[in-house]
Structure 1
């Protein structure tokens, strides 16, 4: 996602965002809705901010778990 957004090319960014939406729907919300439903249900002004926050919440948990495992 970070690499594709640096280009500002929506043809490159759009498929990556779709994968992010699908990941959020399938993994974080355990399939309660689809990636498309996530996108459709969000306010367009908030979608990128909320998506970033949700993805960050997963990586922060991963980083903390990895740091604990590494210490042991």
Structure 2
């Protein structure tokens, strides 16, 4: 089984390494479990990264330090 086909765990792994409000994480996990296809995983990554880019720069750096 290739890595791309193991998409059911990938969103949760991504979310565990990403700082997001708990309600946002929960909504994304629920959506990924409902659909479970590669498109949904890619879409979720895009949503997370778009949300992350909108944070102030100092806040991004602080979140990265906490996550590391």
Place the TM-score, normalised by the shorter chain, in its bin: 0.3 to 0.5
Q: Which has the higher contact order (CA 8 A, sep 6+)?
A: 2
Q: Over alpha carbons, which structure has the higher Rg?
A: 1
What's the TM-score, normalizing by structure 1?
Answer: 0.40
What's the TM-score, normalizing by structure 2?
Answer: 0.41
